Amino acid sequence: MTGRARRQQVIIDILQRQPVDSQEELRQSLAGRGIEVTQATLSRDLRELGAAKTPRGYQLPSGTTPGRSESARALTPLARTMASFVTDIQTACNTIVLRTGPGHAQIVALEMDRAGLVGVVGCLAGDDTIFVAVASAQRAKELTRELLGLAELAGAGR
For 96-134, the pLDDT digits (tens) are 999 999 989 998 998 898 888 899 999 999 999 999 999
Q: Residue 155: its pLDDT value, please?
A: 56
pLDDT higher than 90, residue 154: no
Give the tens place of pLDDT for each residue, 59-95: 876 544 444 433 344 446 788 888 889 999 999 999 9
SS3 label, residue 87:
strand
Give the tens place of pLDDT for each residue, 12-68: 889 888 889 999 999 999 999 999 999 999 998 888 887 888 777 888 765 444 444
Domains (range + CATH), the chain: 3-65 (1.10.10.10), 72-150 (3.30.1360.40)
Q: Residue 128: its pLDDT value, please?
A: 96
Question: Dihedral (C-alpha) 128, 121, 133, 111: value to the nearest 10 degrees?
Answer: -20
Question: Dihedral (C-alpha) 85, 126, 49, 82: value to the nearest 10 degrees?
Answer: 30
Q: How far is Cα 108 from Cα 85, in angstroms, rounded to an integer?
A: 7
